[in-house]
Amino acid sequence: MNVTARIHNAKTETHSRRRDLTLSAAAREFVRHPSPWIIAGLLAAAATARIVVGDWQYTDAVVPAVMLALFPFTEWVIHVCVLHWRPRRIGRLTVDSLLARKHRAHHADPRDVDLIFIPWQTFLWLLPALLTIALLAFPRPGLGLIYLTTLGVLGVNYEWTHYLIHTDYQPRTRMFKAVRKNHRLHHFRNEHYWFTVTTSGTADRALGTHPDPTAVPNSPTAKSLHAQHAG
């Protein structure tokens, strides 16, 4: 087989793979990874406990409404300050979290499925921290459980959306097309902009990181975060 034929076959195979990837096929891969199950477990446990506790009040609706409104900004802050953390030396100690290291690897290879998800080790400290917040930061147990339930919903949606963006699934809705384009600009055009993941340019617009893509140069370090570039 000559080179032209191999290129043609490769393009045909890629086109077929993209065309044929369905949501159900994507979901079968999604559930093979631990973080969706961990977050779904938190969601199920918190929602069940909330029903058992009872004591429903009108103010219960305030917590999820506030969290939903703030979530794009939470995503932005975590993405900028935690995931894009630049390793720092403090004496002989290098401060560089697992999340930051995994995220640099994710930028280097955005199609590596294992690197798309929150590392399961993160939950060893994150779940106790969230439970502590739920117990101490709210005046009623019911509110703390609503906080955890809402986090579960937002977390599963984050993992699913981020995962789907990095697959060959082609969006059907205008909303998801915009979300996908926003995140792919971050990966493939310039890593210094477009930090939201589950929404399209919400917090980015408010915080000045949603420029006109045509006015932003391709970054030479989009796949090698923090690398020095000469020239």
For 53, what's the count of Cα atoms within 13 Å in the CB-facing half-sphere? 17
> Does the pLDDT at position 5 exceed 50?
no
pLDDT score recorded for residue 76: 98
Cβ(116)–Cβ(107) below 8 Å: no
The number of beta carbons lying within 10 Å of the beta carbon of residue 99 is: 17
User: How many Cβ atoms are within 10 Å of 191's Cβ, its own excluded?
Assistant: 19
pLDDT value of position 45: 98
pLDDT at 13: 43
* Model confidence, pTM: 0.89
**Range with the lowest mean pLDDT among 89-93, 158-162, 176-180?**
89-93
Whether the per-residue pLDDT at 78 is higher than 90: the answer is yes
3-state class of 6 per DSSP? helix
Q: Give mean pLDDT, residues 128-136.
A: 97
Has residue 70 got a pLDDT over 60?
A: yes
Structure confidence by residue, pLDDT tens digits, 162-191 = 999 999 999 999 999 999 999 999 999 999
Instruction: Please classify residue 223 by burial: count the beta carbons closer than 10 Å to its beta carbon, then call 0-12 exposed, 13-18 middle and 19+ buried.
Output: middle
Q: What are phi and psi of 42, to 5 degrees?
A: -60, -45
Query: By the 8 A CB rule, do 168 and 23 touch?
Result: no
- What type of residue is 169? Y
